[in-house]
């Protein structure tokens, strides 16, 4: 049974420029026809006035519900700032109500009423509006990964052009997108430009950009000359691609500068006095876990939001969409079930990255997390590598839950070490 069965419930169907509002009395009756409010000061004050009048008449404070719509429902934060209680519903839950009526009717009025009735009568999971600082951090971290994806795409395009125009160039430098390689491409964007380049000038350019000696730079110049001669056999029309390469280099440098700026802003947000102290402490705790960096910790906290809403590691696992799906009917019980992927996509991406880092070794052969590496290796005996990696992600979520619950720094312990409390625990005296 829903916990809001006897409440004054308000359902809001949100769009980009306006919303449709439906109100249900504690008895379940529709108070008035669903009405429209524009997303401007006049529309927001109109909604507040209507809600206050109904609150005085019903002697009940309204509780509003909105469907999660990315960013479009965020202007309704003004309701929270006016001491009104609100919750966010998962679109999957709202979408499941479309076939309640036999008639096929789909409009905003019906949708707002469906949201209100779903919240009032169905026992569904709801999310609270996050704190503005956490929401701002979430938007910044997601922007970071969006820009990072665009940067990766631009680098891939540059690689494609270099494969065609400049065969062998990507093998000359250890990093084709490092400062030295980009400096060479900016000054000499085509094989013909490299063939005509002054050897001393090119050597000095590489030496300064790499901060290495002239001998090392001379070896690189020789390799670049060989690549330029090899590329002379390519059609002359391909030389027009040098302009495209310049565009890609400008884009890569601009994207990298934007990425650095977003990262600096994230540090500034978390370090400010206005940022919640509890969330700041949680970021610091997760940052101490091996394989987790500051940006990763900040992203996890931003995606989790209020950790107090999770009462078990299973709840946190379901939130990240790592819980197994179930396929069972009658005597059939499916045994090839994938993870549900019903939670935060960015969160799963971050956990995958942390899992990959946790099972690796450093350059000197030291294991990042020997317990997780051993666990992963044992799983790979009977499971596929990606399945074993998902199991590592499960373990990481249990680590994260324990660290945030106990508010204690992470310590690497083997499974047998966790059982020592059973032997050291004092036993009750026999009667």
Six token digits for residue 219 = 């070896």
CA pair distance 206, 212, nearest whole angstrom: 8
Q: Are residues 281 and 311 in the same domain?
A: yes
3-state DSSP percent of the chain in helix, strand and coil, to 5: 60, 10, 35
In tens, the pLDDT along 353-395 reads: 999 999 998 888 888 999 999 999 999 998 899 999 999 999 9
CA pair distance 212, 352, nearest whole angstrom: 36
Average pLDDT of span 6-23 = 88
Q: How many other C-beta atoms can be found within 10 angstroms of the C-beta atom of residue 382? A: 8
CA atoms within 13 A on the CB side of 338: 4
Query: What DSSP element (H or E) covers 67?
Result: strand 62-67
* Spatial contact of 160 and 318, defined as CB atoms under 8 Å apart: no
Average pLDDT of span 78-100 = 74
Q: Are residues 120 and 148 in the same domain?
A: no
Task: Tell whether 318 is covered by a domain.
Answer: yes
Domain stop point among 228, 263, 298: 263
Domain stop point among 263, 285, 311: 263
Average pLDDT of span 234-241 = 61
CA atoms within 13 A on the CB side of 402: 13
Q: Are residues 144 and 119 in the same domain?
A: no
The whole-number pLDDT of residue 363 equals 84
Summary count for the chain: helices (H), strands (E): 18, 8
Burial degree of 13 (CB within 10 A; 0-12, 13-18, 19+): buried
Q: Are residues 102 and 149 in the same domain?
A: no
Q: Are residues 236 and 293 in the same domain?
A: no
* Spatial contact of 61 and 85, defined as CB atoms under 8 Å apart: yes
Choose the weakest-confidence range: 94-108, 183-197, 266-280: 94-108
Q: Are residues 228 and 121 in the same domain?
A: no
Domain stop point among 74, 108, 129: 129
In tens, the pLDDT along 177-197 reads: 888 988 998 888 888 888 888
Q: Are residues 292 and 415 in the same domain?
A: yes
89-123: b or e for each residue (b if 16 or more CB lie within 10 Å)? bbeebbeebeeeeeeeeeebbbbbbbbbbbbbeee
Higher pLDDT, 330 or 353: 353
Task: Tell whether 270 is covered by a domain.
Answer: no
Q: Are residues 325 and 238 in the same domain?
A: no
Q: Are residues 86 and 69 in the same domain?
A: yes
The whole-number pLDDT of residue 426 equals 59
Six token digits for residue 119 = 């919240």
Q: Are residues 110 and 179 in the same domain?
A: no
Sign of the Cα pseudo-torsion (230, 231, 236, 237, in order): positive
Instruction: Note the pTM of the prediction, 2 decimals.
Output: 0.82
Using 50, 70 and 90 to split pLDDT, how confident is the model at 205?
very high
Name the CA radius of gyration of the chain, rounded. 29
* Spatial contact of 67 and 73, defined as CB atoms under 8 Å apart: yes
Is 335 in a helix, a strand, or coil?
coil
Task: Tell whether 414 is covered by a domain.
Answer: yes
**Percent of the chain having pLDDT more than 70?**
89
Is 99's pLDDT higher than 70? no
CA pair distance 120, 5, nearest whole angstrom: 5
Choose the weakest-confidence range: 78-82, 172-176, 324-328: 78-82
What are the distances in angstroms from CA 318 to CA 133, 274, 348, 375, 397?
Answer: 24, 31, 11, 22, 10
Six token digits for residue 255 = 């994207």
Query: What DSSP element (H or E) covers 263?
Result: helix 241-271
Angle at 216 between CA 215 and CA 221, to 5 degrees: 95
Sign of the Cα pseudo-torsion (247, 250, 256, 259, in order): negative
Q: Are residues 63 and 44 in the same domain?
A: yes
Higher pLDDT, 239 or 28: 28
What are the distances in angstroms from CA 174 to CA 160, 171, 404?
Answer: 17, 7, 40
CA pair distance 404, 315, nearest whole angstrom: 14
Angle at 177 between CA 175 and CA 179, to 5 degrees: 90
Domain housing 231: 137-263
Task: Tell whether 429 is covered by a domain.
Answer: no
Average pLDDT of span 308-321 = 89
Task: Tell whether 350 is covered by a domain.
Answer: yes
Using 50, 70 and 90 to split pLDDT, how confident is the model at 66?
confident
Is 285's pLDDT higher than 90? yes
Is 107 in a helix, a strand, or coil?
coil
Task: Tell whether 14 is covered by a domain.
Answer: yes
Angle at 88 between CA 84 and CA 92, to 5 degrees: 160
Task: Tell whether 301 is covered by a domain.
Answer: yes
* Spatial contact of 337 and 324, defined as CB atoms under 8 Å apart: yes
Q: Are residues 17 and 101 in the same domain?
A: yes
**Percent of the chain having pLDDT more than 90?**
35
Domains in the chain: how many in total? 3
Name the E strands within 175-320: none
Residues 6+ apart with CB under 8 A from 219: none
Is 431's pLDDT higher than 50? no
CATH code assigned at 94: 3.30.420.40
> Where do we find the tokens 């350019």?
205
Using 50, 70 and 90 to split pLDDT, how confident is the model at 427?
low
The whole-number pLDDT of residue 74 equals 67
Average pLDDT of span 277-281 = 93
């Amino acid at each position: 049974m829903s916990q809001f069965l006897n409440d004054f419930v308000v359902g809001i169907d949100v769009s980009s420029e306006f919303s449709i509002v439906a109100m249900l009395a504690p008895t379940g009756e529709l108070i008035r026809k669903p009405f429209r409010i524009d997303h401007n000061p006049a529309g927001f004050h109109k909604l507040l006035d209507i809600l206050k009048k109904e609150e005085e008449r019903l002697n009940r404070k309204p509780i509003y519900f909105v469907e999660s719509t990315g960013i479009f429902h965020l202007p309704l934060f003004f309701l929270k700032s006016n001491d009104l209680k609100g919750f966010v519903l998962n679109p999957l839950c709202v979408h499941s109500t479309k076939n309640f009526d036999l008639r096929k009717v789909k409009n905003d009025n019906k949708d707002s009423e469906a949201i209100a009735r779903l919240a009032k009568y169905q026992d569904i999971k709801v999310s609270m509006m996050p704190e503005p600082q956490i929401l701002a951090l979430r938007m910044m971290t997601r922007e970071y990964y969006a820009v990072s994806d665009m940067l990766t795409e631009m680098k891939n395009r540059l690689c494609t052009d270099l494969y065609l125009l400049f065969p062998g160039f990507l093998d000359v430098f250890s990093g084709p997108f490092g400062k030295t390689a980009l400096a060479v491409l900016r000054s000499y964007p085509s094989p013909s430009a490299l063939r005509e380049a002054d050897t001393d000038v090119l050597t000095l350019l590489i030496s300064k950009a790499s901060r290495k000696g002239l001998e090392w730079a001379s070896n690189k110049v020789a390799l670049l000359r060989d690549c330029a001669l090899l590329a002379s056999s390519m059609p002359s029309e391909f030389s027009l691609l040098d302009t495209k390469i310049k565009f890609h280099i400008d884009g890569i440098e601009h994207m990298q500068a934007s990425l650095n700026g977003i990262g600096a802003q994230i540090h500034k947000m978390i370090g400010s006095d206005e940022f919640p102290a509890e969330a700041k402490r949680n970021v610091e705790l997760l940052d101490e876990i091996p394989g987790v960096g500051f940006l990763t910790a900040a992203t996890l906290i931003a995606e989790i939001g209020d950790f107090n809403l999770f009462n078990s590691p299973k709840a946190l696992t379901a939130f990240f969409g790592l819980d197994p799906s179930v396929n069972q009917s009658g005597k059939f019980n499916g045994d090839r079930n994938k993870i549900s992927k019903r939670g935060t996509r960015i969160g799963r991406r971050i956990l995958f990255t942390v899992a990959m880092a946790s099972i690796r070794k450093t350059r000197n052969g030291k294991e990042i997390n020997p317990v997780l590496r051993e666990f992963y290796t044992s799983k790979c005996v009977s499971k596929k590598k990606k399945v074993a990696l998902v199991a590592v992600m499960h373990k990481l979520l249990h680590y994260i839950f324990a660290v945030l619950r106990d508010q204690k720094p992470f310590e690497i312990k083997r499974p047998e070490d966790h059982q020592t409390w059973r032997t050291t625990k004092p036993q009750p005296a026999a009667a």
